[in-house]
Structure 1
Amino acid sequence: MSADFTEFLAPGPVPRRLEASPASVDWALVRRLHEVTATALAEELKRRPTLSTVAQQELARTLVQDGIDELVRTRMRAGQVVPTPDEERAIAEAVIAAQFGLGRLQPHVDDPEVENIEAHGHDNVWIGYADGRDVRVDPIADSDEDLVRQLQHIAARLGRAERTLTTASPLLTMRLPDGSRLAAVIETVSRPQLVIRRHRIRNVDLDDLVGLRAIDRPLAEFLRAAVRARKNIVVTGGQGAGKTLLLRALANELPVGENLATIEKHFELLLHELPDRHPRVVPFEAREGTGERGPDGRRLGEVTLTELVEQALVMNVSRVWLGEVRGEEAWPLIEVMEAGEGGSACTLHARSAHHAFERLANLCMRGRAAVTPEHAYRSCASAIDLIVHISTVDERWIGGQRHRFISQVVECNGIGEGGRPAVTDVFAPGPDGRAVPEHDPVDLADYVRVGFDPHWLRPSHGRWAGAAGGRR
């Protein structure tokens, strides 16, 4: 079996030339209808401020259809070509998407095969598909200025709280209603930049990943035992490696009745949207605040990850799972792992499992000026039990595929020589780079206690039989 996250779908060829999406909508007409509809809705909301979103959408559809009907009558009187029924439906949906959704981006977000959307200006737009293809598609706006207006509209309407994208606030990161993450930048770049990362697979566990040939059975059994044994786990890898997907699968191995806190800058784990698996999850999401920064450097209403980690400790939760460690929240998380019952987890950008300790120690010192390197490394060594690293190999530039796979599982065994954490490579890269058993964990008894069979760590149990025989 392979441990390749790209094998959720059969791989497809990498295009040799640019491809265009089959869009044939009259966008100038859509823009005019949208302006008329938005104005009419604004007037209606002044009269009925409690009008629900559903009622607004129904009213908008009526207004749009009225506008299309008037267009058809005008063109018929002038002897001009009128839109077909299919074109009418496409125009109506485009107007509704512009008012209540993501405009021209909406069809791409609705496509279940799309993983990433990138725009370098309004007309240089690329779609990343689940099978590894990157395809250039039609413009998503009439101009860069129009794209900025669309992003401002999205920020004001679709987030959990109203956001802004202006000269004073040129950076935008937000969660879209479907759970995707949108990031945009203006002013500090030559053209507006936009990235949308979608979370295609949510309700997934380790058995699912094995069935999809995403990880091997021995590794799945070991990770399942690690969760049951309440080991503190850090999942590492590069951008887009699949860290959140793996963390979500690990979380779905938790007992259904366990009380869990998830803490994220923007909801990505989405465990609270799986009530059958996680009926007692407490989902925390940071808030960036609004307006100008105060004397303390914070915006009004800002709530940081650090504050949420501290708040989680008084919420009667048995585990704390932090979506991604990026800054000063590293230190309170390490304190939670070090002092709690165990079983916490997070993701971290790092180029290898061993490099994760350097990253975490630096983040701890960045967040607390009084933390010395010795203190940081000692605390990390005391708090962390396992580091699971996902590697990415991108061969698309030579006509191949992008491969994402678990390559290392490292156990932390306290402080070693030189004040750095002592580690055991439980799983190490095999001949093809994917993780194969290397050494028994020092704390093997903890895993056996929760039902783990040590024979899963023997070469005869995996695809590496024979090839890894000399490792032991």
Structure 2
Amino acid sequence: MTPPPDGVMSEADLVVDVRAQVAQALAGHAGGGPLPAAERRRLAEQYTGEALDAHARQALDAGRAPLSASAEARVARAVLDHVVGAGGLQQLLDNPEIENVHANGADEVFIRYAGGKSEVGPPIAESDEAMIEMVRALATEAAFGDDFSGHGEERTFDRTNPVLDLRLRDGSRLCAIMSVAKRPALSIRRPTMINADLDDLVAKGTLDEPLCRVLQAAMRAKLNIIFAGGTNTGKTTFARAAARAIPPHERLITIEDSYELELHDAVAHPNVTALQARRVNLEGVGAVSMAALVRTALRMDPDRVIVGEARGDEVIDLLKAMSQGNDGSFATVHASSSAQAFTRLMMYAVQAPERLTFEASAMLIAESLHLVVHLNWSPDKTRVVSSVREVVGFDGRDVMSNEVWRPGHGQRAVPNTPLRTETLDRLEAAGLDPRVIDRVGW
């Protein structure tokens, strides 16, 4: 880069200059091949420091004051974010309070925080073209894995593959598009409350303490549960928190389109096998469906089969697993109400290759499920449990259920119809204090 006439380079120009130097040095060191992530970061920090030292010496030789320590730190951070991080996204990803990031082009950025607050964010790249290159760099890293061992999936992002979905190193989910929109766009969903249990959600106002105790007992009693709700209502977070009540000796197998549940824990859940569906590769082969993974999971001696999000023909295999001995299994489903969850499951079942009738689907659901827990947004932007249904049978095409908790003020669940005696007996056998039932207030 040619310096300006007065010899003073702006911070932004210095970032571009140092970034180019570091990228060139890394390319020469790697010899054309990928470097392990830790080694790449170490070298990037070394080359950045050397470039900034050289810039400081040039300033002193020219009789100018070098960069201040704070300015040099800002330049180094910006360079490393682009070379070994997520570019202009990195500072947003480093903020634990940020829950979602949406970019409609490089400079139209919108941020949503965990508490529900939304605001406009800073640009994430110098241009739309730079944004596309940033996404491609993230895709390359995902393809090689954190250690560049080559165990990831092939990910391309171009006009022939204009939709990209991948998991970032911190567990965030990124979905990016190009050429099918006027400008490239991306959305990032951050994992929240990874280590939370239902008691933590009580503290956040998601549900009250008696309902918390009932659901914890339901998990211990191995009731089959669907966690339903609309987009971004916290279904995965709630399912993960509910799973904390599962005894640690049980073997869990999770099936997801993208890893999000993250149930493995050396103490709480040491025996977890996480499976992820796979799309076709660049040659158009190699796909592994969710339904195939559910069937595979059943051959791996699970105590529980857990589907991160049921939205296709894997529903039939999941329901069969629930009704054939894998009690305590659960899944999440997109639905606008607890009652609509049954309709969703039936639609997936009748559209599956088995082509179940509505009557057969209703019977399978009734014989498999025990509870549906529905989540919603309250007017104060809190995610809340709004409804709980107990499945009691089927009648023709209809799944029969009792809404034991219904939406009350602010969409928060309030007691409605008591659970059946046999269900209460099962919960008490799993450790539910009978006095909790009195506190529910049915």
TM-score, scaled relative to structure 1: 0.85
**Counterparts of 1:163 and 1:223, CA distance in 2:** 40
- The answer to whether structure 1 residue 269 and structure 2 residue 261 are counterparts is yes
- The answer to whether structure 1 residue 194 and structure 2 residue 172 are counterparts is no
- The answer to whether structure 1 residue 291 and structure 2 residue 282 are counterparts is yes
| Alignment match, 1:428 | 406
**Counterparts of 1:432 and 1:132, CA distance in 2:** 15
Q: In angstroms, what is the RMSD of aligned CA positions?
A: 2.0
Structure 1 residue 207: Cα displacement: 2.2
| Alignment match, 1:222 | 214
- Residues 348 and 146 (structure 1), Cα distance of their counterparts in 2 relative to 1, 3 Å cut: same
The answer to whether the 8 A contact 1:101-1:158 is kept is: no
- Return the letter of the residue paired with 1:332: D
**Counterparts of 2:112 and 2:266, CA distance in 1:** 30
The answer to whether the 8 A contact 1:237-1:243 is kept is: yes
| Alignment match, 1:297 | none
For 1:128, what is the secondary structure of its paired residue?
A: strand
| Alignment match, 1:341 | 326
For 1:321, what is the secondary structure of its paired residue?
A: strand
- Return the letter of the residue paired with 1:38: A
| Alignment match, 1:254 | 246
Identify which of 81, 88, 95 aligns with 1:104. 88
**Counterparts of 1:233 and 1:82, CA distance in 2:** 63
For 1:215, what is the secondary structure of its paired residue?
A: coil
The answer to whether the 8 A contact 2:346-2:361 is kept is: yes
- Return the letter of the residue paired with 2:312: G
- The answer to whether structure 1 residue 72 and structure 2 residue 56 are counterparts is yes
| Alignment match, 1:441 | 419
| Alignment match, 1:371 | 356
**Counterparts of 1:333 and 1:51, CA distance in 2:** 41
For 2:132, what is the secondary structure of its paired residue?
A: helix
- Residues 411 and 120 (structure 1), Cα distance of their counterparts in 2 relative to 1, 3 Å cut: same
Structure 1 residue 81: Cα displacement: 6.2
| Alignment match, 2:103 | 119
- Residues 429 and 52 (structure 1), Cα distance of their counterparts in 2 relative to 1, 3 Å cut: closer
For 1:291, what is the secondary structure of its paired residue?
A: coil
For 2:411, what is the secondary structure of its paired residue?
A: coil
- Return the letter of the residue paired with 1:430: G
Identify which of 255, 267, 282 aligns with 2:273. 282
| Alignment match, 1:456 | 436
- Residues 424 and 453 (structure 1), Cα distance of their counterparts in 2 relative to 1, 3 Å cut: farther
- Residues 253 and 51 (structure 1), Cα distance of their counterparts in 2 relative to 1, 3 Å cut: same
For 2:338, what is the secondary structure of its paired residue?
A: coil
1:374-409: per-residue Cα shift (whole Å, max 9, x none)? Answer: 22222112111100001113x5xxxxx313211111
- Give ranges in structure 1 of 5+ residues lacking alignment: 1-24, 294-299, 396-400, 466-471
- Residues 32 and 164 (structure 1), Cα distance of their counterparts in 2 relative to 1, 3 Å cut: farther
**Counterparts of 2:66 and 2:192, CA distance in 1:** 39
For 2:176, what is the secondary structure of its paired residue?
A: strand
- Return the letter of the residue paired with 1:330: V
**Percent identity, aligned pairs only?**
36
The answer to whether the 8 A contact 1:158-1:176 is kept is: yes
| Alignment match, 2:369 | 384
- Give the number of equivalent residue pairs: 423
The answer to whether the 8 A contact 2:173-2:188 is kept is: yes
The answer to whether the 8 A contact 2:349-2:355 is kept is: no
For 1:402, what is the secondary structure of its paired residue?
A: coil
Identify which of 292, 299, 319 aligns with 1:314. 299
Structure 1 residue 130: Cα displacement: 1.8
The answer to whether the 8 A contact 1:64-1:92 is kept is: yes
Q: Which structure is higher in RCO with an 8 Å CA cutoff and minimum separation 6? A: 1
1:415-450: per-residue Cα shift (whole Å, max 9, x none)? Answer: 13x431110111112344311222222232222222
- The answer to whether structure 1 residue 176 and structure 2 residue 168 are counterparts is yes
Structure 1 residue 76: Cα displacement: 4.2
1:275-332: per-residue Cα shift (whole Å, max 9, x none)? Answer: 2111101111222242042xxxxxx332221121111111111101111112222221
TM-score, scaled relative to structure 2: 0.90
The answer to whether the 8 A contact 2:40-2:84 is kept is: no
- Give ranges in structure 2 of 5+ residues lacking alignment: 1-9, 146-151
Structure 1 residue 349: Cα displacement: 0.6
**Counterparts of 1:28 and 1:163, CA distance in 2:** 31
The answer to whether the 8 A contact 2:205-2:384 is kept is: no
1:249-269: per-residue Cα shift (whole Å, max 9, x none)? Answer: 111100011111111111111
Q: Which of 247-256 and 56-65 deviates more?
A: 56-65
**Counterparts of 1:94 and 1:366, CA distance in 2:** 50
| Alignment match, 1:167 | 159
The answer to whether the 8 A contact 1:331-1:368 is kept is: no
**Counterparts of 1:29 and 1:239, CA distance in 2:** 42
Once the two structures are superposed, the pairs formed by residues 16-27 of structure 1 within 5 Å of their partners are: 26-27=11-12
For 1:325, what is the secondary structure of its paired residue?
A: coil
- Return the letter of the residue paired with 1:448: E
- Residues 170 and 319 (structure 1), Cα distance of their counterparts in 2 relative to 1, 3 Å cut: same
